[in-house]
């Protein structure tokens, strides 16, 4: 058995800090020790307590001034949209037609998909994201490309083939039957391999017929280990379109619910315009919301009311939503979430923001028994963060009086530059510089 130990400042969360006393919600060891054995966390605690328990042959790497934290979990993103990042000027429906759908058509070519998957996963790791819930394209092989690349890197990743059978270019449409056959084949082909998981992925209610949404619900019901991943209530024109397409549905959530797509394994990206009634029904169903602040700001979608969603008891996590979102960094998303909160008169606590980017993401993806924090027994997906990575960060964090201040400075001033190392299952997967 191979043991390795790292001495640094340690921080992780154990529970939602808005719903639990601080002592139960998070742990900070200013001088801590993380012990890793066979890809899992063996110990996480104060250096002074743990060091005497280590066998003499265990190497301890001392990382003064560094912060060890769990890897980030991105609850909503799109690997085929890396090339549409920073598209100027449009809101959701035009953006999809003018930028996103053309870019996704290139994924009919397997070599293009392989190259895009490799770039995307390396960019996740450079930014400290060790797990993600990922949209592929309508092409079945786009999932193979992503999963093969994730398997080679041993990442804990969840993804799925997009289902679309209307209101999209013909080259990006499948049918009820081909969508079912491809989804079933991918679940069978990839189940149990590495640390991968599948998500049934109808793009959104606008681009699937009733029959296709019903099929998606049937496939999800037949496979209790898969997630359901889609978009909901992001943009006002989109919501009006859904109302036209489903005139007898009470609201957007009800469209998904009537087809069996709103359950405890569902992750709904955005929910910007979801009201208290919808959020309450999401909590009752056990569905999660992915808050994607960079995307919501860039597409002008609106301001997600995090406090309201939390008050309704919904599991909320953070999504980078590449390529509507313009950064892979969940540190940056924590900062963007703070700014969205400020515009609604709600100041997001930095420890809550950190929870959203780690353990909450793992909860939304149903992998919190394996990752999301560094409790002993969990998979050792962790980061070495450098709070002095840039001159301004160094200057600001030198004056920080608490871990809250360090985390807040990292969220406002930090990004991939602050991620010095990323470890996957105890193995070094990225080292800066």
**Contact flag: residue 203 with ligand GUN (CB under 6 A):** yes
Nearer to ligand GUN, 321 or 379 (CB): 321
**Contact flag: residue 198 with ligand GUN (CB under 6 A):** no
Task: List the structure tokens of 343.
Answer: 């515009």
Q: Under a CB-based contact definition with an 8 Å cutoff, are residues 366 and 409 in contact? A: no
Which span sits near ligand GUN by CB under 6 A: 35-43, 92-100, 136-144, 389-397? 92-100
Residue 336 binds which of ligand GUN, Zn ion, none (CB < 5-8 A, kind-dependent): none
Instruction: Give the separation between CA 380 and CA 93, rounded to whole angstroms.
Output: 40
Residues 59-78 that bind ligand GUN (CB under 6 A): 78
Instruction: Give the separation between CA 90 and CA 20, rounded to whole angstroms.
Output: 41
Residue 203 binds which of Zn ion, ligand GUN, none (CB < 5-8 A, kind-dependent): ligand GUN
| Sole residue written with tokens 């979102």 | 325
**Contact flag: residue 104 with Zn ion (CB under 5 A):** no
User: Among positive and negative, which fits the CA dihedral 294, 295, 300, 301?
Assistant: negative
Nearer to Zn ion, 123 or 321 (CB): 321
End-to-end CA distance of the chain: 30
Q: Classify 198 as helix, strand or coil.
A: strand
**Contact flag: residue 229 with ligand GUN (CB under 6 A):** no
Query: Per-residue DSSP letters for 59-71?
Result: EEEEEEEEEEEEP
Minimum distance from CB of 92 to ligand GUN (Å)?
A: 6
**Contact flag: residue 295 with ligand GUN (CB under 6 A):** yes
**Contact flag: residue 92 with ligand GUN (CB under 6 A):** yes
Residue of 7, 29, 161, 231 interacting with ligand GUN (CB under 6 A):
231
Q: Under a CB-based contact definition with an 8 Å cutoff, are residues 8 and 384 in contact? A: yes
**Contact flag: residue 321 with Zn ion (CB under 5 A):** yes
Instruction: Give the separation between CA 82 and CA 70, rounded to whole angstroms.
Output: 25
**Contact flag: residue 336 with ligand GUN (CB under 6 A):** no
Instruction: Give the separation between CA 57 and CA 60, rounded to whole angstroms.
Output: 9
Which chain residues interact with ligand GUN by CB under 6 A? 78, 92, 96, 100, 203-204, 231, 234, 295, 321, 324
Which chain residues interact with Zn ion by CB under 5 A? 269, 321
């Amino acid at each position: 058995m191979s043991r390795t130990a790292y001495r640094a400042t340690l921080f992780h969360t154990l529970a939602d800090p808005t719903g639990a006393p601080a002592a139960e919600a998070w742990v900070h060891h200013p001088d801590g020790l993380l012990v890793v054995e066979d890809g899992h966390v063996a110990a996480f605690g104060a250096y002074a307590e743990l060091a005497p328990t280590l066998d003499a042959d265990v190497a301890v790497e001392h990382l003064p001034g560094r912060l060890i934290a769990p890897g980030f979990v991105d609850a909503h993103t799109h690997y085929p949209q890396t090339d549409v990042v920073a598209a100027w000027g449009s809101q959701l429906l035009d953006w999809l037609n003018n930028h996103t759908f053309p870019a996704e058509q290139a994924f009919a070519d397997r070599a293009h998909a392989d190259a895009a998957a490799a770039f995307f996963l390396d960019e996740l790791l450079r930014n400290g994201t060790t797990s993600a819930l990922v949209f592929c394209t309508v092409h079945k092989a786009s999932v193979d490309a992503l999963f093969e690349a994730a398997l080679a890197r041993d990442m804990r990743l969840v993804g799925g083939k997009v289902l679309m059978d209307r209101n999209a270019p013909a080259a990006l449409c499948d049918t009820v039957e081909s969508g079912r056959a491809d989804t079933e084949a991918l679940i069978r082909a990839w189940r149990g391999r590495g640390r991968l998981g599948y998500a049934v992925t109808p793009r959104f209610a606008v681009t699937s017929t009733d029959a296709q949404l019903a099929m998606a619900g049937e496939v999800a019901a037949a496979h209790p280990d898969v997630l359901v991943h889609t978009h909901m209530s992001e943009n006002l024109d989109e919501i009006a379109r859904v109302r036209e397409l489903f005139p007898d549905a009470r609201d957007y959530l009800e469209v998904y619910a009537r087809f069996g797509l709103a359950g405890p394994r569902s992750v709904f990206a955005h929910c910007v315009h979801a009201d208290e009634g919808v959020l309450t029904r999401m909590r009752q169903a056990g569905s999660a919301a992915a808050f994607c602040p960079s995307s919501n700001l860039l597409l002008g979608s609106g301001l997600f009311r995090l406090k309201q969603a939390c008050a309704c008891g919904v599991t909320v996590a953070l999504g980078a939503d590449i390529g509507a979102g313009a950064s892979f960094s969940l540190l940056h998303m924590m900062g963007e979430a703070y700014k969205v909160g400020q515009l609604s008169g709600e100041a997001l606590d930095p420890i809550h923001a950190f929870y959203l980017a780690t353990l909450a993401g793992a909860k939304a993806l149903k992998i919190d028994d394996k990752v999301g924090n560094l409790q002993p027994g969990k998979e050792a997906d962790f980061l070495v963060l450098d709070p002095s990575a840039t001159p301004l960060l160094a200057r600001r964090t030198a004056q920080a009086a608490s871990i809250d201040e360090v985390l807040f400075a990292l969220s406002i001033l930090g990004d991939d530059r602050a991620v010095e190392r990323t470890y996957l299952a105890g193995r070094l997967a990225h080292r800066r510089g």
